[in-house]
Structure 1
């Protein structure tokens, strides 16, 4: 580093211009009289004594009398420690500025646009950590590995976690060991896709694929906006792709995160021919409070009459009616209004074998 640059750096670290110039000059001179330091540094002679005393107070130099005031630089360890401490504080300040700018506090009903993917995945990690019921995730294998500890903790808490892993066309399929303990079901999309993390139907973290022209992220803490990301996840990142990992195994219970998936299997089983017991976890649509009921399926109402191979339709109202200890309870999906319960986790706990 040239002398001029060193002086400027010391000024940025907190020294005055005269202090920085005098200290650099003294480093080159070793030991010198105040007059020689003034001549070498360009500090005005009337000011050099105050400058040297200030540097001595900072432990940068020491002065002594030998016919005239003389000065010598201290061992640089003190200066180096001071500069490194200043550098650490500056680095911390830079990180704090970045965090406060990139990660505005998300209030209820809020949404933010961010420019760094790191912010998106850090918020996703926080959403996963705080989730109580459900996590839906679209990610690469690399980012899944990063989020795996938080996902395992969520699974251990009883959170329903489903993951859609996307890979490039020339990339190998994900190793199934990657899903062990991190989710209850995983699907593989052999096509690049955005990063999407949804938690408890109210928080969303979204970022375009890194190769996309549009490079920004969206953070949401709002049920209505998260609902849009949910439908994108369901129709584009989940439903069309093959299941590659299923921790539930064969037999009962069978868990669903969407009422339409449940209806598909109810029609395949033939719910009218044998009693099917369903446990529903969700929210009371009148009070908004969490609700869990267990009852027998007595009706399935769908807006389509066709008995297609999939029995799966995206549009329209889908309702499952239950008999809960003699009381009628209707169950709808995300955004249910007219039903009694908005189901977030629907589990068949007793039914005839599914062919």
Structure 2
């Protein structure tokens, strides 16, 4: 079958309809007998096919002339008619479609540079709370636009930039909440909202990849995302802070846990109160109290006991309790969001 005819069948035409339409298209105007001879289809069957194509808006049948003449519609108008039909189908399908989030991990092995950048951009555009990224500075520079949009919608972004490309570091730094640099080459680790992660040979993203280099993209995988985040914090501790943005104006409502730790650390000279909105299964939905102590490694000066530690100590009902983020296991409580405000005198 002709390749064009085969493509037409993907839009709902039968093989014989496609052959008939192309035969008329090539002749401009033809009799039914001419079409039958050109396609080796019986004249009686050609009548049926022509009527079907006329109903689709692809042909015009002039049966006032003898013998009956068949004329092709201009291809642009024909495609427009087919597009309208597809749009109608799309509307019908959209009314029936129920959107559901994937509830199982998705794992993708990526070997193409452009594809990996597309996956990273999609994850960044979909971020709601936080992005932790360790990449060579030129890679982050290429992702500056989606990172900037994410930060502007309130996403907390921590960048660890590898290498000594000063210009790339300066450009990328404008897109993040806090930035550190490390002069050594780095592999790429990216964690988004603690449920999606990318790990890759950085040579792949730089366009210098070897045959066996690849990137691994994981979605809906909190355990893996948490493990990669822990690895990221170990590298983060080795970097040197070069930039950080001003915190949001207080009160700051329902921040992601580590974003809130960043805000509390920025306002270290103020008397702050925090409401921790807790994950289900604990002895309260939320707790509120003044900040007693912060253990963190996001900003200088760091105050952690170990690199991955981000802990707030609050005074609640006369007792000091510790609060951690998703997956907290050494703290008293695990919070999914925090509200930070200044205490009233």
TM-score bracket for this pair, using the shorter chain length: 0.5 to 0.7
Deviation at 1:337, TM superposition (A): 4.6
Q: 1:293 aligns with which of 289, 292, 303?
A: 289
Deviation at 1:38, TM superposition (A): 0.9
2:10 and 2:71 map into 1 onto residues whose CA distance is 23
**2:180 aligned with 1:187, yes or no?**
yes
Sort the Cα spacing of 1:125 and 1:64 in 2 relative to 1 into closer, same or farther, 3 A: same
Q: How does 1:49-64 map to 2 (within 5 A)?
A: 49-59=47-57, 60-64=59-63
Match of 1:105, SS state, is: coil
Sort the Cα spacing of 1:33 and 1:330 in 2 relative to 1 into closer, same or farther, 3 A: closer
- Tell me the residue number matched to 1:305: none
1:247-300 alpha-carbon deviations (Å, 9 max, x no partner)? 359xxxxxx959999xxxxxxx9xxxxx99675554668436343321546x99
Which has the higher Rg, Structure 1 or Structure 2? 1
Sort the Cα spacing of 1:127 and 1:165 in 2 relative to 1 into closer, same or farther, 3 A: same
Q: How does 1:209-220 map to 2 (within 5 A)?
A: 209=202, 210-211=204-205, 213-220=213-220
Q: How does 1:221-240 map to 2 (within 5 A)?
A: 222=222, 224-236=223-235, 238-240=236-238
Structure 1, unaligned runs of 5 or more? 156-160, 250-255, 262-268, 270-274, 301-308, 351-355
- Tell me the residue number matched to 2:80: 81
Deviation at 1:345, TM superposition (A): 7.2
Is the CA contact (8 Å cut-off) linking 2:198 and 2:215 kept in structure 1?
A: no
- Tell me the residue number matched to 2:151: 151
1:177-208 alpha-carbon deviations (Å, 9 max, x no partner)? x545x544221244343241343xx5343242
Deviation at 1:231, TM superposition (A): 1.1
The 10-residue stretch of structure 1 (328-337 or 338-347) with the greater mean CA deviation from structure 2: 338-347
1:230 and 1:112 map into 2 onto residues whose CA distance is 18
Q: Aligned residues, how many? A: 297
2:186 and 2:12 map into 1 onto residues whose CA distance is 49
- Tell me the residue number matched to 1:105: 101
Deviation at 1:232, TM superposition (A): 1.2
Is the CA contact (8 Å cut-off) linking 1:25 and 1:41 kept in structure 2?
A: yes
Is the CA contact (8 Å cut-off) linking 1:19 and 1:51 kept in structure 2?
A: yes
Is the CA contact (8 Å cut-off) linking 1:21 and 1:42 kept in structure 2?
A: no
Structure 2, unaligned runs of 5 or more? 110-114, 248-256, 263-267, 296-300
Sort the Cα spacing of 1:346 and 1:243 in 2 relative to 1 into closer, same or farther, 3 A: farther
1:91-146 alpha-carbon deviations (Å, 9 max, x no partner)? x9xxx9xxx9xx98343xx5321345334542343232xx3xx5544451222321
Is the CA contact (8 Å cut-off) linking 1:259 and 1:333 kept in structure 2?
A: no
Is the CA contact (8 Å cut-off) linking 1:167 and 1:173 kept in structure 2?
A: no
- Tell me the residue number matched to 2:69: 70
1:206 and 1:280 map into 2 onto residues whose CA distance is 32
Match of 1:233, SS state, is: helix
Output the TM-score relative to the length of structure 1. 0.64
Is the CA contact (8 Å cut-off) linking 2:277 and 2:338 kept in structure 1?
A: no
1:118-175 alpha-carbon deviations (Å, 9 max, x no partner)? 34542343232xx3xx5544451222321211211206xxxxx242143555674422
Is the CA contact (8 Å cut-off) linking 1:22 and 1:37 kept in structure 2?
A: yes
- Tell me the residue number matched to 1:244: 242
Is the CA contact (8 Å cut-off) linking 2:20 and 2:39 kept in structure 1?
A: yes
Is the CA contact (8 Å cut-off) linking 2:288 and 2:316 kept in structure 1?
A: no
